[in-house]
């Protein structure tokens, strides 16, 4: 496996760590190149580029031989190229689009060039969301859709509740996650508290905003087990993203039967519909506030949606099923 991180509450890290765990349990031997095992810079904007360089140098120097090399996202693809093995590349979102949004059109063009090269290096490409699959197929790329998933055995029995009415966001604290929209929406929600779990470049901005509203609590990073207990104890999970793959946090909320509000972007629309939660337009804080208030005030409807969402997880987005889809890809013969 080649991936920048395998630890923390980030969706890609959770996905890869669970994939490694499942494969190991089934008797496969798995090695991993990541920032936890090899050096890379932790500074904003430099983590992924430094990982791309260090992991690639390692692959060039050692020229390792494996049956399979499985890289996750575009920054891992260069190291994948130099490993002698069948090459699998998993896309957890639309890389060039996200870079363009975060860093501007020039960086987006550079990311698109890197993306096009990386896609050619892989023997098989998978994507965790249907939206990413469609995005890359329009570019003429042969992509297999293998969805993100959760392991139901990881879900806690205990819950942590701090307030009578508790709204929660878990994820990276960055602009593409739409947290500014969530804060505006929360102004129109009464008799509730908002918990924000995670870390990222806009944390200081969020903390400064929270100083003006004692109902907003920026909890920062929390170990995954603790974060899941707080999620389980919450009344509503909100995912206000402007760009999204197939969110692990959203899957976990559904697995814990926490009613969800999400924006109509990326993989959110694959998970959330009129039977499993409430979808709102990104940037639309008024609709977001209305959805949150409805779930807080109509608990019978909220729990019906949550129960339907839970059944969706069991039937489709379950690691016990998804692992076999990856193994099928590994066992394919190169054309």
How many residues does the structure list for the chain? 335
Q: Are residues 284 and 157 in the same domain?
A: yes
Residues 45 and 169 in one domain: no
Residues 175 and 91 occupy one common structural domain: no
Give yes or no: residues 200 and 298 share one domain. Answer: yes
pLDDT of the residue at 41:
60
Mark whether 62 and 80 lie in a shared domain.
yes
Token couple for 41:
């810079």
Whether residues 144 and 192 fall in one domain: no
Is 80 domain-assigned? yes
- One domain for residues 293 and 190: yes
Residue 224 is assigned to a structural domain of this protein: yes
Query: Does residue 5 belong to any structural domain of this protein?
Result: no
Does residue 208 lie within any of the structural domains? yes
CA distance 238 to 88: 33
Q: What is the pLDDT along the chain (335 residues), one digit of tens a residue?
A: 999 888 877 788 899 999 999 999 999 999 999 888 776 765 555 566 778 888 888 888 887 789 999 999 998 999 999 999 999 999 998 888 888 877 788 888 988 898 999 999 999 999 999 999 999 999 999 999 999 999 999 999 999 999 999 999 999 999 999 999 999 999 999 999 999 999 999 999 999 999 999 999 999 999 999 999 999 999 999 999 998 989 999 999 999 999 999 999 989 999 999 999 999 999 999 999 999 999 999 999 999 999 999 999 999 999 999 999 999 999 997 64
Q: What is the pLDDT of residue 52?
A: 80
Is 4 part of a structural domain of the chain? Answer: no
Containing structural domain, residue 64: 11-149+318-331
Same domain, 214 and 136: no
Number of domains present in the structure of the chain:
2
Q: What is the pLDDT of residue 47?
A: 65
Structure tokens at 121: 């290096």
Report the b/e string of 62-81 with b at 16+ CB within 10 A. eeeeeebbbbbbbbbbbbbb
Domain shared by 145 and 179, yes or no? no
What is the structure's pLDDT at 143?
A: 96
Residues 6+ apart with CB under 8 A from 100: 107, 108, 109, 111
Task: Put residue 198 in one of left, alpha, beta given phi > 0 → left and psi -120 to 50 → alpha.
Answer: left
Instruction: Please give the Cα distance from 207 to 233 (Å, whole number).
Output: 23
* Residue-level pLDDT at 102: 77
Query: 22 in a domain, yes or no?
Result: yes
A 10 A CB-CB count for 217 gives: 17
Same domain, 201 and 260: yes
Dihedral sign computed on CA atoms, order 50, 52, 55, 60: negative
6 is a domain residue = no
- Evaluate whether 197 touches 9 at the Cβ level (below 8 Å): yes
CA distances from 219 to 222, 253, 301 (A): 7, 18, 29
pLDDT at 43: 52
Same domain, 158 and 255: yes
pTM for the predicted model, two decimal places: 0.88
Considering the domain architecture, whether residues 205 and 91 belong to the same structural domain is answered as no
Cα–chain center distance at 82: 27
Residue 311 lies in a domain: yes
In the chain, count of helices (H) and strands (E)? 14, 10
pLDDT at site 98 = 82
Say if residue 313 is exposed, middle or buried (CB neighbours under 10 Å; 0-12, 13-18, 19+). Answer: buried
Check which CATH number belongs to the domain holding 51 and give it: 3.40.50.2000
């Amino acid at each position: 496996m080649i991936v920048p991180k395998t630890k923390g509450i980030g969706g890609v890290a959770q996905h890869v760590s669970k994939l490694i765990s499942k494969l190991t349990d089934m008797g496969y031997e798995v090695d991993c190149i990541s920032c936890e095992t090899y050096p890379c810079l932790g500074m904003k904007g430099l983590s992924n580029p430094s990982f791309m360089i260090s992991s690639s140098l390692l692959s060039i120097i050692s020229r390792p031989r494996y049956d399979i090399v499985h890289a996750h996202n575009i920054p891992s693809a260069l190291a994948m190229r130099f490993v002698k093995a069948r090459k699998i590349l998993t896309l957890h979102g639309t890389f060039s689009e996200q870079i363009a949004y975060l860093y501007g059109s020039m960086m987006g063009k550079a990311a698109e060039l890197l993306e096009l090269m990386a896609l050619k290096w892989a023997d098989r490409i998978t994507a965790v969301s249907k939206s990413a699959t469609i995005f890359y197929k329009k570019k003429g790329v042969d992509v297999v859709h293998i969805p993100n998933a959760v392991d139901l055995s990881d879900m806690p029995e205990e819950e942590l509740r701090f307030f009578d009415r508790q709204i929660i966001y878990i994820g990276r604290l960055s602009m593409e996650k739409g947290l500014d929209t969530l804060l505006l929406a929360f102004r129109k929600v009464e008799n509730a508290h908002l918990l924000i779990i995670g870390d990222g470049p806009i944390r200081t901005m969020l903390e400064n905003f929270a100083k003006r509203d004692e109902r907003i609590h920026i909890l920062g990073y929390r170990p995954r087990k603790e974060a899941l207990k707080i999620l389980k104890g919450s009344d509503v999970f909100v995912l206000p993203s402007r760009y999204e793959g197939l969110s692990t946090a959203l899957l976990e909320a559904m697995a814990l039967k926490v009613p969800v509000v999400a924006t109509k972007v990326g993989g959110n629309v694959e998970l959330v519909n009129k039977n499993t939660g409430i979808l709102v337009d990104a940037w639309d804080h008024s609709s977001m506030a209305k959805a949150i208030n409805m779930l807080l005030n109509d608990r019978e409807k909220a729990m019906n949606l949550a129960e339907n969402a839970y059944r969706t997880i069991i039937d489709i987005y379950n690691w016990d099923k998804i692992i076999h889809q990856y193994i099928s890809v590994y066992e394919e013969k190169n054309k």
